[in-house]
Amino acid sequence: MAMSNYVRIARRWWWFVAIALILSTAAGYCFSSQRPQLYEAEARLLVGSSISNPNPSLDDIRTATQLLETYAMLPTVRPFLETIINQLTLEETPSELQRSIEISTTPATQLMVIRVQDHNAERARVIANTITDVLLSQVPISTTEGIPPTNRLTVLEPATTGSPVDQDIEVRTLFIGASGVLLSVFVIFLFETLDTRLREPEELEQALGVPVLIAMDKQGGAEKSHGVAVIDTPRSSAARSYHLLNAKLAALNDGQPLPSLMILGVEKGSATETALNCAAVFGQRGRQTVILELDEIPAVSPVSTEQTQPPVTELTEDVYELVPLHRLPNVMHLKVVTPSTDLLPLLTAAGSNNLIKHLEGEGYTVLVTTTWAQSKVASLLTAPHVNGIVVAAIARASSRSVLRSINEDFHSVGAHVVGSIWLPRSRSDVSIASLLQPQTAEGRRLAANRA
């Protein structure tokens, strides 16, 4: 993944990481601050006779050092712990008691330190001193006359009332906060991996391998309209974007308008809106434009061998008619007169029977609208006969995998995808059927407002 993708993900999800940091830090502080206070009592013992013997030998020191480690292990064995529990009538198990005891040694000085932590300061002192007493009672001391005992245990400092233990609230809070951030980052990348929907125009360009001609949520605005933006709101940013699209399409053809163009919508509705606005721009520039809806042509099942009528192979006056669209000057809709299943061979046939080429020869600009999921077969059959294909994708709805499939399938049939359009999620609800109807009260009201 390119660094730019990580930057886009960071811009898109920074709020989620910030919320995770705040919540986890607050939870960590509450958890740490509400933990019961621990107290620690400490007793110090000396192993050997290095203090009482003015001339200890090296063997005496070596023996005391070895015994030091042995004595340090005694308070950790179960029988010793059970003795402590019985003497003090504690409710802990030997394992629980062992976790509250820490024995540390310093071989260079023959010192042994017994530390006990407990939620009660006095009980910590009692347990530490009891461990010392039991340890002293279990250590046999040499009584050889004239020789100082090397196995002697001497209490240098008995335990006093336990002192509070630093709970490290700040450290725990920071650790939990950092853990929350790491967890949020993991969730984000897991979501980004599983969610293949497009969220940025750059992702659309990467998926299709063609430039994004216009990005409506950046240049055209994300406002929802209830008509054709070029006609109903001519000064809006959306209308300006469609005029920009017309200029870019002409630039792709050496400054000349494309005679025919397919507007392929990845989702339902996106192709119709884009085609109507493009047709409105063409019509304003004096170009006679015909909109042909492939979605109105049902796909013929390849396994079906029965045909109610022979396919149409010749252009006759009863094949189709051109119906002007209300409020769109110079724009017409191709209405099929014969059964719609007969039109597909006429669209894809070579030579004079090709309907798109026939309309081009009559001086019309042909806009073919189609939805990939609804008319995939018809789109692939028709695509090689148009001069260019523009894919209209919707933010947070179109899938990268679907777009890659579109690119590969069109490439396999020799069709040319010239660019793409990035549309916001909130779309217009205008339809071609509504523009074929007589002028409604709402239509008259809009006309009066423009007047």
What pLDDT was estimated at residue 55?
Answer: 58
Q: Return d(Cα 277, Cα 328) in angstroms, integer.
A: 9
**Of 102, 139, 105, 104, nearest to 124 (Cα)?**
102
User: DSSP label at 416?
Assistant: -
How far is 166 from 39, CA to CA, in rounded Å?
9
Instruction: Give tens-digit pLDDT for 419-428.
Output: 999 887 756 6
pLDDT of residue 342: 55
Residues of the chain with pLDDT under 70: 1-2, 4-5, 49-61, 64, 141-151, 167, 217-226, 269, 297-319, 336-346, 348-353, 426-429, 437-451
3-state helix, strand, coil in the chain (%, to 5): 50, 15, 35
Q: Say how far apart CA 424 and CA 221 lie, in whole Å.
A: 8
pLDDT of residue 222: 43
39-164 and 201-298+311-450, same CATH topology: no
Q: Which residues pair with 366 in a beta bridge?
A: 260, 290
Architecture per CATH, domain 201-298+311-450, reads as 3-Layer(aba) Sandwich (3.40)
- Per-residue pLDDT, 177: 86
Q: Which pTM does this prediction carry?
A: 0.59
pLDDT computed for residue 389 by the predictor: 92
Structure tokens, 257: 């308008």
Q: Which amino acid is at 155?
A: V
Q: Which of 420, 344, 346 is nearest to 388 (CA)?
A: 420
pLDDT computed for residue 74 by the predictor: 85
With CA atoms as reference, report the closest residue to 277 among 226, 220, 328.
Answer: 328
What ranges make up the beta strands (E) of 57-160? 101-106, 111-118, 153-157
- DSSP-derived secondary structure for 179-213: HHHHHHHHHHHHHHHH--B--SHHHHHHHHSS-EE
Q: Which residues pair with 44 in a beta bridge?
A: 113, 157
Residue with tokens 């020869």: 361
Helices 121-138 and 78-88 meet at what angle, rounded to 10?
130
CATH class of 39-164: alpha beta
- pLDDT at residue 257, rounded to an integer: 84
User: Which residue ranges make up each domain of the chain?
Assistant: 3-34+168-194, 39-164, 201-298+311-450
pLDDT in tens, 267-298: 876 788 888 999 999 999 889 999 988 887 65
